Amino acid sequence: METWRTRIDTRSDAFKANREAMLALLAEIDVQLELARAGGGERSIARLRQRGKLMVRERIELLLDPDSPFLELSPLGGYYTDYAVGGGLVTGIGVVSGVECVLAANDPTVLGGAINAISMKKTDRALEISRINRIPYVQFVESAGADLRRSGDDSVEAEMRRTLGHFAESGRFFHDITALSAARIPTMSIVFGSSTAGGAYQPGMSDYNIFIKERSKVFLGGPPLVMMATGEQSNDEELGGAEMHATMSGLADYLAEDELDAIRIARNVIGHYNWRKLGPGPSLPPDEPIYDPEELLGILPPDLRTPVDIREVIARVVDGSRFEEFKPLYGRTLVTGWASVHGYPVGVIGNNGVLFSEESEKATQFIQLCNQVDVPIIFLQNITGYMVGKVYEQGGIVKHGSKMINAVSNSTVPHITVIIGASYGAGNYGMSGKAYDTRFTFTWPTAKIAVMGPKQLAGVMSIVRKASALATGRHFDADEDARLTAAVEDRSEKESLALYATGRVADDGIIDPRDTRTVLGITLSACHNNEVKGAAGYGVFRM
Amino acid sequence: MPRITKLLIANRGEIARRIARTAREMGIATVGVYADPDAGALFTREVDQAVALTGTSSAETYLHIPKLLEAARRTGAGAIHPGYGFLAESAEFARDVVAAGFTWVGPRPEAIASMGDKLAAKRLVEKAGVPTLPGLEVTAEMTEGILQQAREIGYPLLVKAAGGGGGKGMRIVTSEPDLADAVAAAKREAAAAFGNDTVFVERYIEASRHIEVQVFGDRHGNAVHCFERECSIQRRHQKIIEEAPSPAVDDASRAKLGEAAVAAARAIGYDNAGTVEFLVDEQSRFYFMEMNTRLQVEHPVTEEITGLDLVREQIRVAEGEPLSIRQEDVAINGHAIEARVYAEDPANDFLPVAGRLLAWEPDPALPARFESGVESGALVSPHFDPMLAKVIVRAPTRMEAAMRLANVLERLRVHGITTNRDFLVNVLRHEAFLAGDTTTHFIEKHEPPRQRTVSADEIAEAALAVALTTQQVNRAAARVLQTIPSGWRNNPSALQEMKLARGESTLVARYIRNRDGSFNYAVGEKSGVVQINGFANGALDLAIDGVQRRFALTSHGLQHWVQSTSGEVTFTEIPRFPEPEQQAISGGYTAPMPGRIVAVNVEQGQQVTAGETLIILEAMKMEHRITCSDDGTVGEVRVSTGQQVEAGDVLLIVESTGGGP
């Protein structure tokens, strides 16, 4: 296999400037990560400590095998929202007793671990990752239940107008927990605190339950509700104490002395899962790239209009910087080829510019080749979209682009997508965006995701306004239009940022470019818990 | 005398290996013997054949004459070498060997017999004009006559076993009231060890040196000496460091000592390797103590400075050959020092310890002569002598020899059980030792530290080595994500950590991997950057803040032994998840080591006072007293006389009534 020869000059001013810009973005993200780790803040932490409890990340660290890696998913979910960064839930993939597990752990310092829009989305995503990749699911339950607070105008009418959510649509995640079990993926709940009312079904639906003496409380209705419903006098311990559930109700399978004991038991139980991954193990030499991943900081310019050779990124991610390019002379704005990451063979598809018909056909063929030999695909997105214009439309750009989206949609080998720069319009779909059953989607701090570029969007809207004014004979205020155009560009720029996407859990997290290889390694290994098998068929390709 | 073609070695451990080595070099086939606990031991695998003696105790095995003779018969061995200890100085065994038609590699039985009784030997050499100390034989009953004679000799006195050697059965008595007890104890120990409970007392010289002369006779009337060895450094009356020549002997004294030793040998017509032991006082006067009619443990130092192979000479002489050397051929070349590495705890009165030797690896970069009977994984049994090895170094000067031997010992990887290694190093580096100020009271007088003095920095570095070795092992053993950077986090919230206990103190080693593969670390007061520059065969090359050093780790469960070029540091890992602790029984007295109960002095319900001896435990042929630490009432006695106990077994429980120290 060929080894890429770099053309990057790490001593150039451009490289240094790129690097500085990237480090500034990373510093901003570090501040947010720190906020996420701080959870509900000093007072809540102090209260937790006073009660002799561990912080959620301390619990996770103890559960994980010493020196094993842990990939936290969507750590900045909730950014740009009313919710705390992280949403009061830590999710991720880690190794417990040699078994890769998906973890979902309530942070009791954030509103008592109450379920909110962000934590719900992260939970759903964790369950999905667990299901699609066939990874055992472990949840640390300590939750005050649903966040029933209403903000601002608290009239029922206002609330109804604000959200389309309905109770009848809630509770899907109990379904998903038991669906994992049915799919022969073990599930476990360690109940660190309260898990009441609807929350009681979290352990209720789990295969293994570990309760902690004098800490776990699991009941459908607490003493006040019981009093209201039946007039019966009762206390917490009688209704839902750990010892009661271990000795009487049978809801607890293991009774732990304390938090440490619970985590120890969990490690033992998972060690007995007899877990065998269905995918093949790494089979190629997992040597480090020849080129230092550190240099990934200086490759991408902050202005996404400057072209970047995606091969320079590939060379700093794949094993030994080895990359065997497929069809290098055809459809040159899309790079396709074979490589391996941490020993896992992969096909790589990366953008080197806008997509034309040739690129679309090349991608379609390459995706089918990967499926033919059960090889996962890494998508490296830096895409402004499919080419527009008379020549291209007449040349069938929609038809060819659709073929690519057809192949991406029906491909069954794992897709892992890293958005390093632009991700605009249908380019996002064709390059296996988040909505395309992609196993994992990560963004670099430089990523921008939108229907089109902010400048283009603002410009298009200005043209439409002008045309409308002309058509209806209204006066067109050029100054007002300039102000509007700037505002639209500004807002759409903001909403296209990686942090905005990650805040809405529209990705699995922003990663430091230097970690790309590591994150791909962890997620590829995660995917290989399930069978890795190419597609048996596709939608009809329009010819 | 027929030529020896096959030799049975009636011994075990290092000396069996030592004899087999020379025999092999001489083209002689070798036969070993072994007791049950020694099955599979190194020495049994290095001989051509090894015969099971079936049994555990020495009496059933290495001291069992019929079994040994039968072993020689079965394997067709023509000769028997007794080594040292066991039956080496048994005239009865020598006689039986000869009577059974085998060649005895040792002096004539009569010579053994004449020297075997220390008291008779003393009288014999006196006649040959060799100086001796005043003394007398004592019986169990202290008659006024004995006490009177003892007073005439003057206290302090030394009680010695007539049939003994190696310090067993020896007691120092400083005043008359203690004499009876000491004699009784010496008799008991002597009877158990030598089957002869005759004891005698002689004047005890406080500041004396133990100097002995190697002699060699043949059956042609030749007798030579191979100069002296000094063996003053002793604990519990047993030698731990020996050297040749003695720093206290000048050429004139050397000639006199040699002549006296040869005179003693000639007086009994001595015809093999032997050692004449002298006690040398502060005025350089020397007195005959005893003659050992065997190869000595410390013979290698003589071999090192003279270039002789004493075992080869023994075999040749036993074959009837004349000595290959004349007196004028023997010369001193350099200085040799031997240190005996024992499985024992210097901090606990040098009590023997037993257990699994997890690692035994001399540093290949520092060659020295290792006479050892052990290997990594060997079980050190409580049934036999706890000596693991003798380490011998020869150098042009005494100073160089001492310094190098200290380094060799310091870098020896001996993990799994407690040894006197650090203590030996402290002695060898002690100013007084280096100055040649060596008497048999060296240890009491100069009190070299029993353990290594370890700086906080060194402890921190060792702890870091444990943590990072564990990290390397963890990563290598990882079933998934093995090639992913160690402990990688995209949202790092904590450092990896390992808690270690060292004695009473605990230490937490924390670390986190940097992108360049180095680790930031924090251990105790120390923090910085550490780079792993190599990891192979349990040895870790760590560059701690830019200074690289090699650490070798041996782990057994939660126990960790770290060996670096500056010595050993041990830790007990505190597990992440504490297991329910075993409840310690309050007021319980436990066995300090595996052994046999020889006396239970108290019974249930009895009032006991602090300092009182409750139980006597015999281990490694030494008596250990379990004394009362607190006044109280005996609540329960869990053992009886004759019972074998394991280390840590609860022997009895005393319900405290307060008081005591």
Structure tokens at A284: 């190629």
Smallest Cβ distance to A525: which of B480, B489, B496?
B480
Structure tokens at B366: 């520092």
Measured in whole angstroms, the distance separating CA B340 from the mean position of its chain's CA atoms is 5
Residue among A201, A202, A200, A188 nearest A253 (CA): A188
| Residue B296 φ then ψ, to 5° | -85, 155
Closest alpha carbon within chain B to A343: B483
The amino acid present at B311, given as its one-letter code, is V
Residue among B406, B415, B407 nearest B374 (CA): B415
Question: Is B658's pLDDT higher than 60?
Answer: no
Question: Is A91's pLDDT higher than 80?
Answer: yes
Q: Give the residue numbers of B marked as catalytic.
A: 294
Please answer yes or no on whether A519 and B490 come within 8 Å at the CB atom: yes
Chain A neighbors of B474, CB-CB under 8 A: 65-68
Instruction: pLDDT band for B586, please (50, 70, 90 cuts).
Output: low
**pLDDT score, position A277:** 97
Please answer yes or no on whether A66 and B489 come within 8 Å at the CB atom: no
Using CB atoms within 10 Å of the CB of residue B444, give its burial: 0 to 12 exposed, 13 to 18 middle, 19+ buried: exposed
Question: Is A126's pLDDT higher than 60?
Answer: yes
Smallest Cβ distance to A343: which of B478, B483, B485?
B483
Closest alpha carbon within chain A to B480: A98
Q: Which value, to the nearest 10 degrees, does the dihedral of the CA atoms of residues B399, B404, B410, B411 take? A: 170
Please answer yes or no on whether A69 and B485 come within 8 Å at the CB atom: yes
Please answer yes or no on whether B496 and A100 come within 8 Å at the CB atom: no
Q: Which of A3-7, A145-149, A209-213, A493-497 has the highest mean pLDDT?
A: A209-213
Read off the DSSP letter of residue B323.
P
d(CA A200, CA B275): 86
Q: What average pLDDT score do residues A255-280 get?
A: 96
Please answer yes or no on whether B470 and A66 come within 8 Å at the CB atom: yes
Please answer yes or no on whether A62 and B576 come within 8 Å at the CB atom: yes
Question: Is A160's pLDDT higher than 60?
Answer: no
Q: How many residues does chain B have?
A: 661
**Separation in Å, CA of B470 to nearest CA in chain A:** 9
Contact B561, B576 (CB under 8 A): no
Chain B neighbors of A522, CB-CB under 8 A: 481, 484, 488
Please answer yes or no on whether B478 and A65 come within 8 Å at the CB atom: yes
Structure tokens at B254: 């050397």
**pLDDT score, position A410:** 97
Smallest Cβ distance to B488: which of A33, A69, A99?
A69
pLDDT in tens, B337-348: 999 999 999 988
**pLDDT score, position A182:** 97
Residue B511 CB-half CA count within 13 A? 31
**pLDDT score, position A149:** 61
Chain B neighbors of A99, CB-CB under 8 A: 480
**pLDDT score, position A158:** 60
Smallest Cβ distance to A37: which of B470, B483, B491?
B491
d(CA B177, CA B251): 44
Instruction: pLDDT band for A386, please (50, 70, 90 cuts).
Output: very high
Chain B neighbors of A519, CB-CB under 8 A: 490
Q: What average pLDDT score do residues A452-464 get?
A: 87
Smallest Cβ distance to B480: which of A57, A95, A267?
A95
Please answer yes or no on whether B488 and A286 come within 8 Å at the CB atom: no
**pLDDT score, position B504:** 82
**pLDDT score, position A231:** 87
Q: Which residues does A339 contact at the CB level (< 8 Å), separation at least 6?
A: A1, A314, A318, A319, A322, A323, A324, A345, A346, A348
Q: What average pLDDT score do residues A194-217 get?
A: 92
Chain A neighbors of B488, CB-CB under 8 A: 69-70, 515, 518, 522
Pick from A67, A102, A278, A443 the residue to mutate for testing the B interface (most B CBs within 10 Å). A67
d(CA B472, CA B414): 22
Pick from A31, A68, A79, A85 the residue to mutate for testing the B interface (most B CBs within 10 Å). A68
Question: Is A43's pLDDT higher than 50?
Answer: yes
Read off the DSSP letter of residue A112.
G
**Separation in Å, CA of B563 to nearest CA in chain A:** 23
Contact B373, B355 (CB under 8 A): no
Please answer yes or no on whether A69 and B491 come within 8 Å at the CB atom: no
**Separation in Å, CA of A457 to nearest CA in chain B:** 34
Question: Is B241's pLDDT higher than 70?
Answer: yes
Please answer yes or no on whether A67 and B481 come within 8 Å at the CB atom: no
Between strands A415-424 and A377-383, the pairing is parallel
Please answer yes or no on whether B494 and A61 come within 8 Å at the CB atom: yes
Question: Following DSSP, what letter does each residue of A140-174 receive, concatenated?
Answer: EEEE--B-----SS--HHHHHHH----GGG--HHH
pLDDT in tens, B147-188: 888 888 888 998 888 876 656 778 889 888 888 888 888 888
**Separation in Å, CA of A530 to nearest CA in chain B:** 14
Structure tokens at B11: 């011994």
Phi-psi region of B380 (alpha: psi -120 to 50; beta: other; left: phi over 0): beta
**pLDDT score, position A166:** 72
**pLDDT score, position B620:** 65
Closest alpha carbon within chain B to A512: B490
ipTM > 0.90 for the complex: yes
Closest alpha carbon within chain B to A277: B480
Structure tokens at A74: 């969507």
pLDDT averaged over every residue in chain A: 92
**pLDDT score, position B91:** 92
Chain B neighbors of A515, CB-CB under 8 A: 488, 490
Q: What average pLDDT score do residues B539-548 get?
A: 96
Which range, of A253-267, B89-103, B184-198, B294-308, averages the lowest pLDDT? B184-198
**Separation in Å, CA of A458 to nearest CA in chain B:** 36
Which range, of A261-275, B125-139, B275-289, averages the lowest pLDDT? B125-139
Instruction: pLDDT band for B399, please (50, 70, 90 cuts).
Output: very high
**pLDDT score, position B529:** 98
d(CA B215, CA B262): 7
Chain A neighbors of B487, CB-CB under 8 A: 66-69
Contact A337, A348 (CB under 8 A): yes
Contact A240, A204 (CB under 8 A): no
pLDDT averaged over every residue in chain B: 90
Helices (DSSP H) in B100-178: which residue ranges?
A: 109-116, 118-127, 144-153
Please answer yes or no on whether B488 and A70 come within 8 Å at the CB atom: yes
Helices (DSSP H) in B195-309: which residue ranges?
A: 251-267, 299-306
Structure tokens at A448: 């921008």
Angle among Cα B54, B57, B58 to the nearest 5 degrees reads 95
Contact A429, A435 (CB under 8 A): yes
Smallest Cβ distance to B493: which of A37, A98, A282?
A37
Chain A neighbors of B475, CB-CB under 8 A: 67
**pLDDT score, position B255:** 93
Q: Of residues B160 and B540, which shows the higher confidence score?
A: B540
Question: Is B135's pLDDT higher than 60?
Answer: yes
Give residue ranges of A with CB < 8 Å to any B CB.
33, 36-37, 57-58, 61-62, 65-72, 75, 95, 98-100, 260-261, 263-264, 267, 277, 282, 286, 293-294, 342-343, 509, 511-512, 514-515, 518-519, 521-522, 525
Percentage, residues of chain B above pLDDT 70? 97
Structure tokens at B347: 């901090």
CB pairs under 8 A between A and B: 91
Q: How far is CA A469 from CA A466, A475, A480, B301, B497, in A?
A: 5, 6, 13, 112, 69
Other CB atoms closer than 10 Å to residue B520's CB: what's the count?
A: 14
Smallest Cβ distance to B488: which of A33, A293, A518?
A518
Please answer yes or no on whether B488 and A72 come within 8 Å at the CB atom: no
